[in-house]
Chain A
Amino acid sequence: MTSTGSINLPAEEKIISSPHSRKIRLQERIAKSLIWFLAVLTIAILAWIVGYLMVKGLRYNNNVPYDVTPYAETRLSLDAFGEDVEDVVFIIHHKTRSEDIPVAGLRKLYNKTRPENWGFYNQQNLRVVPLAYEGAGAFSAAVKDFILTADDLDDYKKNVQEVDSWQDMIEQVGSTAGALGFLPASEAENLPKTVKVLGVRRTSVAVHPSVMEIVDGRMLREITSEDAERLASGEVANWKDVGGIDYPVTLIERTSDGQCLEELQSTKGAMLLCHYGDVEKNGLSILPVKRHETGWNLTWHFIVEAPARSGQWGGISYIIINTFFLILFTVLFSTPVGVMAAIFMVEYAKQGRLMRILRMGTETLAGIPSIVFGLFGFIFFVQILGLGIGFISSTLTVTLMVLPTIIRTSEEALKSVPQSFREGSLALGATKLQTIVKVVLPAASPGILTGIILAVGRTVGETAVLIYTLGSNYDLVSGPSSSARVLSLHLYMLFSEALSFDRTFATGAVLVIIILLTNLSATFVMKRVSKNTGK
């Protein structure tokens, strides 16, 4: 008969056993299954956290309500401003990350007194440079009329930069970052690669006010773009099918004479697809339409661009660099001190009162919560030493925080160096210091490195200690007393100011990736260590 370890044979008849044995074996099986379940649950929890953050951090996936439908026109007919006017095409610099824009937004880009920024539409921190060509007679006038709302002609004139010809328009738009211009459709064939067409969304769903009335405490606030399409094609017969009032839908045809607007306002349950401009002029009720927007959240741009407008626009490049600086200086300050402290505790100190005090100090320091470190840093470094809220105060505070980590791992590393190494060196006539520097430290260095990596991980994740020692400036660190943000702090600021969940998640994903890399490298170093020592 052949058998291997831990045998649990099926209960055959001939097996000599007892009911009690079977009972305790069943107990064991239940207990172990429960433990297995909890172990798997732990893995599942981590997978859930990391997976959730990575998915949310890597891609955004939102339904955003707009006054206009998602339908974007690249060639806009201007027939409302004259019978035979050519269609207009809006063009932008190719590096502007917008594909289309609601018509109201387009008008703001041209008209606002304050220089407009693309950031409002695509989070790209880029000033808008509106260009116009006045020399094309009726066409130019029609475009101007299209762009202007009521009385913003002065702003338009102040804002807009004149060009000399359509050719000049294409060249200028192609060479000016953030530029926005327009062309007649006939000139917009074969555009160079430096220029791209900006779609304009100007179709709105206008409805009779009854559609948006509150009935039974419910109100139709917005519809999905799919519902908008089904409504427009007549597929939906009753508003309740899209979550609204119980009333039939009356679809009104758009006419050029304004007849349709009157019809809309007089028919309960009526709906009309028309231009946003008509809606504005006539004060119609609009049913907002949700657009499903999805795409990469954590992009290259997000990593390399500088943050702007409290982090709502741009990227996190400065934040990453600040994080790097905080890590660098924390490691620079804490490593020598920590390693020297460990050397003293392992190589010099004798068991006794001093050692007990040192050990207790390290243990206690390790247990102090980071908010208390924050308070201390705030009184001591910021106020008493007068270093101010800024980089140096926070680095020093974090240094104290990670010191126990470095001391403890270095201590372990030094202890694991075999005594024979030291004896060998001392026997050759080396002094104790020489032995430590030339023999013990090199042998312990991988272990010490693990400690440093752990300290880096701690520094990256620390937040509470930084709020009142590092401040909240999102610029690049420029000196020892400059206030700054690091990744974790930036994440918290974005979160607490509710500026943008997408950007919060993207920052979180970067943070998680850094932590994953730190952990991987720590594991890697530790494996190397155990291989070298042959454990």
Chain B
Amino acid sequence: MAVENKINVNDLNLHYGDFQALYDINIGIKEKEVTALIGPSGCGKSTFLRTLNRMNDLIDIVKIDGDIHYDDKNIYSQWDVIELRKKVGMVFQKPNPFPMSIYDNIAYGPRTHGVKNKSILTDIVERSLEQASLWDEVKDRLHKPALGLSGGQQQRLCIARVLAVEPDVVLMDEPTSALDPISTSRIEDLIDELKKSYTIVIVTHNMQQAGRISDKTAFFLHGKIEEFGPTDEIFFNPASPKTEEYISGKFG
């Protein structure tokens, strides 16, 4: 097991009831890199992403076999799920700000984890919004409802909200699919900025996006990893003919 891997997945199998969604997944995710998960709809990439911070726990019928290690500790037996989710944050497809003020949205996480001091909270809010390059746009309306922001701003708010709990890894589930092109490019810039300090795993439908922002790419097909490697290799010199077909747009 390579030490520099932030997350190691060994022989992961996942069932929804009788249906097997993931088969023998083995993958290592390196620190401070962007790993993109691509593949046609229903290939299991989102399911896999949600397994990494145990969001699949919410669904009763899900059964998981295999090992997932985060920081060399098994996420099921050695991590408290609260701590795990603090370390491994998640940004969703649809921006989901809470129906409260911008400030309270960002402060929600820290408050959850016991930060009560107002000045510390204010610092966290400012820092997180700056990291998500949203500070300048919202600094005058911190106590206005977050639902008043535009879609792109809302998604950056959600990223800021994740950053506020000081995670190690940020999981992103098609974070730009509900946004317009301008907002999308801002988020992509943001991801580029964030990878200096965070490990990022991103699910995307957008092949160009994967090519633009990721260091490594995993191609999922029918619940299996068809191919995993440096993004350049996957895109320009794929080992599997199926990867090539998908990349060139023959299906998916």
Contact = CB atoms under 8 A, between A and B. Distances in A.
Q: Do chains A and B touch in the complex (CB under 8 A)?
A: yes
Interface of A: 1-7, 9, 11-12, 14-18, 20-25
Which of A2, A4, A6, A9 has the largest count of B CB atoms less than 10 A from its CB?
A4
Interface in B114-145: 114
A3 B76 contact: yes
A4 B60 contact: yes
Given A16-B73, A20-B114, A5 B79 contact: no
Contacts of B63: 2-4
Given A6-B57, A6-B58, A6-B60, A1 B77 contact: yes
24 contacts: A1-B66, A1-B74, A1-B76, A4-B60, A4-B62, A5-B56, A5-B57, A5-B58, A5-B59, A5-B60, A7-B81, A9-B76, A11-B80, A14-B78, A15-B77, A15-B80, A16-B79, A16-B84, A17-B80, A17-B82, A17-B83, A23-B114, A24-B82, A24-B114
A16 B56 CA distance: 20
Instruction: State the 3 A-B residue pairs at the shortest beta-carbon distance, nearest first.
Output: A17-B80, A21-B82, A20-B114
Given A1-B67, A1-B76, A1-B77, A16 B60 contact: no
Interface string B81-125: 111100000000000000000000000000011100000000000
A24 B65 contact: no
Nearest to A2: B65
B155 to A, nearest CB: 27
A11 B81 CA distance: 12
A25 to B, nearest CB: 7
A16 B80 contact: yes
Contacts of A18: 80, 83
A474 B112 CA distance: 65
Interface of B: 54, 56-67, 73-74, 76-84, 112-114
A15 B79 contact: yes
Which of A5, A7, A11, A18 has the largest count of B CB atoms less than 10 A from its CB?
A5
Contacts of B67: 1
A16 B79 CA distance: 5
A130 B185 CA distance: 106
Nearest to A21: B82
Contacts of A7: 54, 57, 76, 81
B7 to A, nearest CB: 15
Given A5-B57, A24-B114, 8 more contacts: A5-B62, A7-B57, A9-B77, A14-B77, A20-B113, A21-B82, A24-B112, A25-B82
A17 B54 CA distance: 15
B83 A2 contact: no
A2 B84 CA distance: 18
Contacts of A12: 77
A150 B73 CA distance: 104
A15 B79 CA distance: 5
Contacts of B64: 2-4
Contacts of B74: 1
A26 to B, nearest CB: 12
Given A15-B78, A21-B83, A24-B112, A5 B61 contact: yes
Contacts of A16: 73, 78-80, 83-84
B65 A1 contact: yes
B132 to A, nearest CB: 25
Contacts of B81: 7
A11 B58 CA distance: 20
Nearest to B15: A4
Nearest to B58: A5
A2 B14 CA distance: 10
